[in-house]
Structure formats: C-alpha cells, structure tokens
Structure 1
Amino acid sequence: MPVARRELRTIDARVRAGTDGSEASPDAELARQDRANQDLIRLHESIAGLLAARQQWREAYAHLRSALDLLQRDREAPEVPEQFRREVDQLRREHAEACEQSIRDSLTDSYNRRYLDQRLVSLLTEQNIGSDGLSVALVDLDWFKQVNDDYGHLTGDRVLKRVAKLLRVDLPDDAFCARYGGEEFVLVLPGLDDAAALRIAEAARARVAEFPWHTIVANLRVTVSIGLAESSPPPPPPDDTHSPAMTPAERQLLRADDLLYAAKRAGRNAVAYCEGGTVRLAGDADNRRLDPSQLAM
C-alpha cells in the first residue's frame, strides 16, 4: 500500500508539472507522457495485487486489463494529459476504497483485528508522549453459541451485525469499534477519563439489552458482558515472568479480558471495571455478588 501511495503522488506531480502553462519541446512532452504512462501501469498493478490478496479476482483482472491496455496504447494519443488526470482521480478513489475495505470486517463493517492491533499500538505510543487517557472495553455476546444452536447461523450473523451497530452509536470522534474475533468486539476509547469511558461502556451494554430482539426472531434475547481496562494499567508485578514480554497493547487487552471474565462470573449482562485495585460492576449490576477471588487486581 505505501508503494501505491508513492506512485499516486508521483503521477499527480507529473501531471501537474505538465499543466503549469509552460511550453515544452515535443521530445520532452513525449518523455513526460511516457513516464506518466508507466506510473499508471505500476499503480494498476499495485491495486490489482491488493485486490487479488483479498480474492477479489474480477476487480483485480480489470486493473490488470487496464495495465495491458496502457502498454499497447499509441504513444501519440492526443488526449494526454487530461485523460491521465481523470484516470488518476478514478484510481485515487478506488485506491482509497480498497484501503478502507482492507481494514474492515466484512460481516459487521466494524474495523478488523488488523486495524485494531495497529491503531492500538499507535495510540498507546501517543499516550506515552502525551497525557490523554486510553481505555479499552472488551465486549462479548452472552450465550451466543446457544443463539446459533437455537436459531441458526444466519440469525447469528444478523445478531452480530446489529450488536456492532449498537456498539458504534454515540461513540466519540476518536473512538472506534473493532471485531476482535467470533462474537467479541473491542471499543477503543482514547482521550477520555475513566468515568467517561465507563459511561460509554455501560450505555453500550444497556443499549444491547434494551433492543427489541423479538423483531428479528420471536423470543430472542441478547445481552453482552464487558470488561473495561482503564487508561493507565499498573506495571506487572516483579514476580510476573510473562507480562514483561508483552506489549502495552497486549497487556491492556489481557486486563480487559480478565475483567470481562469477572462480569461473566457475576451473572453476565454487566460491565466490570477496576477502581482503586478493586473489581466493581457498573450500574444496576453493582449490587451483585462478585467472586471473592476476583475482587482484587
């Protein structure tokens, strides 16, 4: 992808260089057109490779066909450079769409695991430089296997799509939702203090619980459990032989997973978080009894 971006910039520069109002010799103009032609061929091939990697064979073939047509095109085509400009604009749009599709989960339209891993590392690096908070909420559908068993996988897919939409409602501009795998999602909440992140996580849980699931299938009920790891996880204990080898992103996701497990053990349909080293449940679930072994983190 970086190669394709560089080629786009190169083509743009060369097209613009040929439209600045200056006179060019016929040989120089022909050489410029030939360079622009070769740039377009490389860009078509780059996008074709990206599409082929995602098994979008028809679209990949179309770009390879365009590259072949450019190779066979008459060097004295009169429509240059206006035709190049139009084609660059079209390729820029297709390239942007291909980049966006490569970081999206095809079922739920949430961001995928690849984007989550890259962006979380980037945000944690920025956090080390600045003072903004970064909270991570790990979301898991309760009893989702039973939904698939009782109503079928097509219904299960509809449930996943709807849950993803509900989780994305009212997220702050810099926050995002990613599918972590299976029936698990992650809400990444940068730039928020712990209280604000907790409000968002609890609102997401309530939104899923209150949705009229019977409109999808009669008697269907769906809830989620959430583990919310706050913005500043403590350092690993001295006797921990595994955590030191983990990245900050992995460590925060692991803490969110531990808190998610606490929410499950407390009866599900709850948000578990850590306050002053003690595991708590948000909202109405706060009066539930937690497993004593999970009260401290």
Structure 2
Amino acid sequence: MPGLRNGFAGPEPLRDDDAPALPPVGSRNRPTGTGMAELHESIAGLLASRGQWRQAYHHLRSAVDLMSVAEAPRVPEQLRHEVNRLRKEHAEAREQSLRDSLTASYNRRYLDERLAALLAEHAGSDAGLAVALVDLDWFKQVNDNFGHLLGDRVLQRVVELLQEALPAGAFCARYGGEEFVLVLPGADPGEAVTVCEAARSRVELHSWEQMAPGLRVTVTIGLAHERGPEQSPASAEQQLISADALLYAGKQAGRNAVAYRVGDEVRLAGMAAGRRLVMGSRAVGY
C-alpha cells in the first residue's frame, strides 16, 4: 500500500532503474544547456505518468532554470504550463486537506495548527485574540423533523452566515458535529462581542422558512478573549475550554445568545442581556 508523504497518500518513490539516469558530471555524453533541460523534462513526464507529481515538479523547475541560461533562453510555453499546473495542484491539495468536506469551512486540523500559532504570536503582546465556540440550538430536532439532508444544508448555510462579515484575518472552522469556532485575531473584547452578536443575529433573522416551512435555526455562542501581556498566556486548549464554559452559560440562559466575560462577570450580549444567568460547573473559571 502506498505510503504517506507530507500528509498525502502517493505511490512508492521511483526506483533508480525506473527513470532515465542523468549522465555523470564530466561525461562526454552529458548534455548541456537545452539538452539537459529536455532530459529533465523527459524525466518529469515519466514521473507525472506515475502520479509522482511532487518529483515531477522539481524536475520541471530544474528544466526551467536550465532553459533560462541556455543558448535558446526562451522557455517552451508547454513547459511553463506544466509547472504552473503542478504548482496549482499542489496548492489545491494542501487547501483541500484543511477544509471540512461538508461545509467548506476550515477543519479541526487547521484550527489546532493555526490557533496554536496565533496564541504564540500574541504571547506578551497587546494584540487581542478572541475565540468563539458556536453551537446550533436544538439541531437534533432539525434532523429528526426535517431529515439529515436538510440538516446538512442548514449547516452549510449557517457557516455562510457566520463568515459573512468576519474581519480581516478571522476564520471559521468546524469543531465537530454542529459546533463551529470563530477565531478573531487582533480583536479587542468589545469588537469581538459585536462580531459574534452580529453573526448570531444573522442566523436568527435568516429566512429559514424558504428552505422548509416551519424551520427555525438559532445559535448560541461562547466568546473567550485572550487577555493582555500582564496575564499568563492561555494555550489553545485552555482558550477552547473557556469558550465552551461560556457557551454552556449561554445555553443555560435560554440559548440564542452570546455569552462573554468581563473580569469575573459573565454577561450576555444584545437582546439577551436582560436574561438571568444560571451558572453551572462548566461556566466556572476562565
């Protein structure tokens, strides 16, 4: 079975006797300039036919470099096209590996990698970093009453609504099931609350009835904010635990709300601000 290289399955590496060998340096038969470029191009074609596009890409790059200094410096258009195609396939494969297949939001792998990097970047700085855990309210009832196919469409539309007005640098990732995470780098606490409350409102006010008569969808959001340099920096896990505790507080207060913390006080944003908060064990601590 093929092995994994850089996180992607591919065929076994090409053996030495599977591809044309490059003549040794100093050989009278060793081609130069254009001839060497053509040899690299030939090897690239063989590798590409076997699906070994990473190795093919490197040989094509070598061909381009050689052609640029050969007697005929013009690089064939077909060669340029092949290099660009392989570069695009590489980028697309990388992007697809970081996306959720259903909603096209980022996946848990990307979330873990990117959030850890952002927290490291923000450690000791004044830049804010907000993490919001978003959960669809009563989503099991949507699946039970309208079917899983419509439930999938609801998840896709909710992600579109969550991403609709995110600030630059922010992103949405699927955390699991009907839970999503909004990461807001550089956002101060007030801005983060505004962004999350606007997202919650867009979901509530969306015309769900057009998708299915009687359908109504809302979300509850727990918003945690990484505090300034005077505080010990939180890990990615701690940040998500804090957001989860606040999400629980929002659900205990009646759902369809954004719960956040000001100092030691948990508050609800927007229209939910007047509700009574019921604090459970998951809502204790930052």
- Distance, in Å, in 1 between the alignment partners of 2:203 and 2:128 is 26
SS of structure 1 residue aligned to 2:31: helix
| Kept after mapping to 1: 8 A contact 2:249/2:279 | no
- Distance, in Å, in 2 between the alignment partners of 1:42 and 1:128 is 45
Alignment equivalent of 1:251, drawn from 210, 233, 238: 238
1:274 to 2:261 alignment:
yes
1:283 to 2:283 alignment:
no
Specify the code of the residue in structure 1 equivalent to 2:191: A
| Kept after mapping to 1: 8 A contact 2:245/2:284 | no
Specify the code of the residue in structure 1 equivalent to 2:262: E
Question: Which residue number corresponds to residue 53 of structure 1?
Answer: none
Cα gap change, 1:42/1:3 in structure 2, threshold over 3 Å: closer, same or farther? farther
Question: Which residue number corresponds to residue 202 of structure 2?
Answer: 207
Structure 1 position 92, deviation (Å):
1.4
Alignment equivalent of 2:135, drawn from 140, 152, 159: 140
- Distance, in Å, in 1 between the alignment partners of 2:46 and 2:36 is 15
Structure 1 position 173, deviation (Å):
1.4
Structure 1 position 38, deviation (Å):
3.4
**CA offsets, 1:63-115, max 9 Å, x none?**
9xxxxxxxxxxxxxxx9744322211111122222222111111111111111
| Kept after mapping to 1: 8 A contact 2:100/2:106 | yes
Specify the code of the residue in structure 2 equivalent to 1:224: V
Alignment of 1:1-150 (within 5 A): 27-28=31-32, 29-39=34-44, 45-47=51-53, 81-128=76-123, 130-150=125-145
TM-score scaled by structure 2?
0.76
Q: Flag structure 1 segments of 5+ consecutive residues without an equivalent.
A: 5-24, 50-62, 64-78, 237-246
Alignment equivalent of 1:183, drawn from 178, 182, 188: 178
1:264 to 2:269 alignment:
no
| Kept after mapping to 1: 8 A contact 2:252/2:279 | no
Q: How many residues align?
A: 241
- Distance, in Å, in 1 between the alignment partners of 2:90 and 2:277 is 50
Cα gap change, 1:40/1:268 in structure 2, threshold over 3 Å: closer, same or farther? farther
Bigger fraction of residues in helix: 1
- Distance, in Å, in 2 between the alignment partners of 1:249 and 1:3 is 22
Taking only the aligned residue pairs, the percentage that are identical comes to 54
Cα gap change, 1:268/1:221 in structure 2, threshold over 3 Å: closer, same or farther? same
| Kept after mapping to 2: 8 A contact 1:278/1:296 | no
TM-score scaled by structure 1?
0.73
**CA offsets, 1:155-194, max 9 Å, x none?**
1001001100000011111000111111000000001101
| Kept after mapping to 2: 8 A contact 1:279/1:296 | no
Cα gap change, 1:131/1:141 in structure 2, threshold over 3 Å: closer, same or farther? same
| Kept after mapping to 1: 8 A contact 2:108/2:174 | yes
Question: Which residue number corresponds to residue 220 of structure 1?
Answer: 215
- Distance, in Å, in 1 between the alignment partners of 2:31 and 2:192 is 63
Question: Which residue number corresponds to residue 229 of structure 1?
Answer: 224
RMSD over aligned CA atoms reads: 3.1
Q: Flag structure 2 segments of 5+ consecutive residues without an equivalent.
A: 9-28, 57-73
Specify the code of the residue in structure 2 equivalent to 1:33: E
Structure 1 position 35, deviation (Å):
3.0
